[in-house]
Amino acid sequence: MRTKIAIIGGGLSGVYAAYQLEQRGITDYILLEARDQLGGRIMNFTHHSQATTNNFDLGPTWFWPEFQPQLNAIIKTLNLKAFAQYEQGNTLVERSHTQPPTAMPGYTHAPTSMRLKGGMGTLINALHAKLSNKHIVTGALVNTITHQHGHIEVNFSTSNTTDNKVNVEHVMLALPPRLAVSQITFTPALPSDLVSQWQNTATWMAPHAKYIAVYDTPFWRKQTLSGSARSSVGPMAEIHDASNPQGQAALFGFIGIPADDRKRISNEDLITHCKAQLVRLFGAQAATPKADIIKDWAQDPLTATSLDTHAANTHTPAPYITAQNGPWYQNLVGIGSEWSVQFPGYVAGAVDAANIGVELYLKSVKRDV
């Protein structure tokens, strides 16, 4: 197969890059996603019903319209509905095994943390629905990318075949930099300074694990609690209300146990401890969720590498998006969120980096004409 562009990765940056290309009349591309569904780190957990009111975010949850106007504009263009994170009521602070949690006056974040009705996955679905290109392949793991004889050969495997090839002129890497250099063999080799930069760029969410407990009603609100909590006891260090408007209620928390230590704890045991913590904080009703789940991103080989076992305290500064010279210069471009200078690692960063990557491609096409 031959086409102009290969987009490697079907998370938000990859899907949005495809959308941007098609908005400019370019459909000569193929999008290859290793997972069996689009979305990447934007991933939903749906309890029972397929209704979007019962979707819960296993990955990123929030965006901030006030300082992420580009993302907000896309959300409005796609007619997606947003709502503010619930923060009314007291926040609980758990400092000791031997003392009950303390209720502290809650506070409202500024700017307001916003969520999408139906979860972040609705953004992926809405963009995908706008695409006319049929060359979107899920379950396609890219193994090698080779620059030869004036074109670039992308080799990928699927569940059916291991030697699939597509010849292109331009590659957009819509996956984390660290994952790109650990999973894909580039021939000729990428410049060593670029490889070092990409390897040292932390993948956001990769060290983390998230627990979600689904309930019929947000019973904590009747206790004048916001659903927010901070804990030095754990296993969750930070907890928030994850309820859906006109849908099911939920609490979610970030596991405070380091990724290496989580490997030694079974999923069942960790869930048991998470439920026990919710009971300590919110009372006996928390003991019987309708459903619960842990998503450990550190155990996801399509997100994390062995370098991702320690959490980055801040979003890592963006690395170079392409080689500064040589055969890979400007025809192999990073467009994943971590390559965004403005919002590295954020949902808005995926949009920003994809936009920059598409603009760079358009400039290169004009230059070659």
pLDDT at 282 (0 to 100): 97
Residues 93, 237: Cα–Cα separation, whole Å: 10
Q: Which pLDDT belongs to residue 163?
A: 87
Residue 212 pLDDT greater than 70, yes or no: yes
| Alpha carbon distance 35, 140 (integer Å) | 7
Average pLDDT over residues 74-98: 95
Q: How confident is the model at residue 269 (pLDDT cuts 50, 70, 90)?
A: very high
Three-class DSSP category at 208: coil
pLDDT for 313 equals 60
* CA 247/CA 122 separation, integer angstroms: 15
pLDDT of residue 314: 64
pTM, 2 dp: 0.94
Dihedral (C-alpha) 216, 219, 225, 226: value to the nearest 10 degrees? 10
Among 234, 215, 220, 232, CA closest to 273? 234
Q: Is the pLDDT of residue 110 over 80?
A: no
Domains of the chain plus CATH, in order, are: 1-42+120-204+316-369 (3.50.50.60), 51-118+205-311 (3.90.660.10)
Q: Please, are residues 270 and 255 in contact by the beta-carbon 8 Å criterion?
A: yes
Separation CA 212–CA 119 (nearest Å)? 13
HSE, side-chain direction, 13 A CA sphere, residue 156: 22
Residues 48-52, mean pLDDT to the nearest whole number: 61
- pLDDT band (50, 70, 90) for residue 109: confident
d(Cα 82, Cα 249) in Å, to the nearest integer? 17
| Four-point Cα dihedral 64, 352, 175, 14, nearest 10 | 100
* Number of other residues whose CB lies within 10 A of the CB of residue 120: 24
Output the pLDDT for position 338: 96
How deeply is 320 buried, as exposed, middle or buried, from its count of CB atoms within 10 A (0-12, 13-18, 19+)?
middle
pLDDT > 90: percent of the chain: 83
Q: What is the pLDDT of residue 247?
A: 83
In sequence order, what are the residues at sequence separation of 6 or more whose Cβ sits closer than 8 angstroms to the Cβ of residue 217? Answer: 249
pLDDT at 85 over 60: yes
pLDDT in tens, 14-38: 999 999 999 999 999 999 999 999 9
d(CA 235, CA 210): 11
Residue type present at position 76: K
- pLDDT of amino acid 246: 84
Instruction: Give the model's pLDDT for residue 368.
Output: 61
Whole-number pLDDT of residue 334: 98
Closest CA to 138 of 165, 120, 158: 158
With cut-offs at 50, 70 and 90, classify the pLDDT of residue 218: very high
User: Taking 70 as the threshold, does the pLDDT of residue 52 lie above it?
Assistant: no
Least confident of 48-52, 262-266, 341-345: 48-52
Is the pLDDT at 369 greater than 60? The verdict is: no
Q: Higher-confidence residue: 58 or 315?
A: 58
pLDDT of residue 134: 82
Average pLDDT along the chain:
93
